[in-house]
Amino acid sequence: MSPPRTIHSEPVGKKELRVVLDGAVYRGLVIVGGQSREVVTGTDPAEVRTELKRRAGTAQPGYIGWGGAINRFRQFFPNGMASEGYLDREGSYKREARLTLLAAAPLEAAAAGRSRGDALLRPFQRTNLLFPQEAMRVKDLLLGPLGSRFAEAAARFTLAPTNEGLRAMTDLARTHNAATWPILTYLPFLWDPERHMFLKPEVTRSLAERVGHILADVYQSPPDFATYEALLDLAGAIRRHIAELEPEDGIDVQSFIWVAGGGYKDDDGVYP
């Protein structure tokens, strides 16, 4: 019998994905730090390769799967997203910020360049989603000479998310050292939480690792569009897996990321 032979290899973040022909069987391996783990076998190399990419995240050290992530959420909100405790701590203030934004700067008007940058400041101030330093930078950006242009770029990206649109926002935000994922994704998320998602890097990457999602491997900063596409894919996967928690909208998806991704600590209490 011939020795095992590698027929495909590709890097994904810090991992190597390898398909090996071993006799009549194809084995899909994930290699991290010189250690390999077999995650799939089969007789069709194309199917093994596809399944290997889908399941590569299960080799993460912190992997707990969707069931584990849901259990983590229920540790703090045992009654899911319909409970008063959840609405008080997570749901209500984000929806209030969204209404503030829609009133201050309607999306279509902002995309047409008819909204001033300073009109967007209050929606940013209605939540604690940004770090204090980020909040100071976005204030300088919105109150400065490029504030209205940033508002227009963010609205255009909300209507049509493209690599060019993300780059336009990023270039404007860099003038005030404000080109961070939380700042760039804040307005699109509040304008249209069904299509967009807010990216808080640490907890979002943590959640991606825990459920085995590819965002954990492809994440990049400075911002790039491949990362944002992976973020939207993660948001879609969350919606498919957490129906039992009774999410109402994309704002609940973002809250799930925060809670199950590590934003809540074990001693933070229970909120029924």
Per-residue model confidence as pLDDT tens for the chain (272 residues):
678 999 999 988 778 999 999 999 999 999 987 888 888 999 999 999 988 887 888 877 789 999 999 999 999 999 999 889 999 999 899 999 999 999 999 999 999 999 999 999 999 999 999 999 999 999 999 999 999 999 999 999 999 999 999 999 999 999 999 999 999 999 999 999 999 999 999 999 999 999 999 899 889 999 999 999 999 999 999 999 999 999 999 999 999 999 999 999 999 999 99
> Rounded CA gap, 241 and 91, in Å?
19
Indicate if 199 and 116 belong to the same structural domain. Answer: yes
| C-beta atoms surrounding 103 within 10 Å | 11
Indicate if 168 and 142 belong to the same structural domain. Answer: yes
How many residues would you count in the chain? 272
> Rounded CA gap, 176 and 155, in Å?
19
Strand order in the sheet with 25-32: 5-12, 15-22, 25-32, 35-42
The predicted pLDDT at position 1 comes to 66
Indicate if 149 and 258 belong to the same structural domain. Answer: yes
Domain stop point among 59, 80, 98: 59
Indicate if 85 and 217 belong to the same structural domain. Answer: yes
Place of tokens 């954990």: 216
| C-beta atoms surrounding 265 within 10 Å | 8
Domain stop point among 16, 36, 59: 59
State pTM to two decimals: 0.88
Is the four-CA dihedral 228, 230, 231, 232 of positive or negative sign? positive
Indicate if 227 and 98 belong to the same structural domain. Answer: yes
Indicate if 74 and 49 belong to the same structural domain. Answer: no
Check: CB of residue 187 under 8 Å from CB of residue 138.
no
Indicate if 127 and 262 belong to the same structural domain. Answer: yes
Indicate if 27 and 105 belong to the same structural domain. Answer: no
Residues 6+ apart with CB under 8 A from 148: 113, 115, 116, 117
The predicted pLDDT at position 12 comes to 83
Q: Which two tokens stand for residue 147?
A: 């504030």
Count of structural domains, the chain: 2
Which residue segment(s) compose the domain that 262 sits in? 63-272
Check: CB of residue 62 under 8 Å from CB of residue 209.
yes
Indicate if 49 and 179 belong to the same structural domain. Answer: no
Indicate if 117 and 86 belong to the same structural domain. Answer: yes
Place of tokens 């109402």: 248
The amino acid at 50: T
> Rounded CA gap, 141 and 123, in Å?
14
Compute CA distances 39 → 32, 43, 181, 206, whole Å.
13, 14, 32, 21
Indicate if 12 and 144 belong to the same structural domain. Answer: no
| Angle, alpha carbons 221-254-95 (nearest 5°) | 120
Indicate if 132 and 119 belong to the same structural domain. Answer: yes
> Rounded CA gap, 124 and 137, in Å?
11
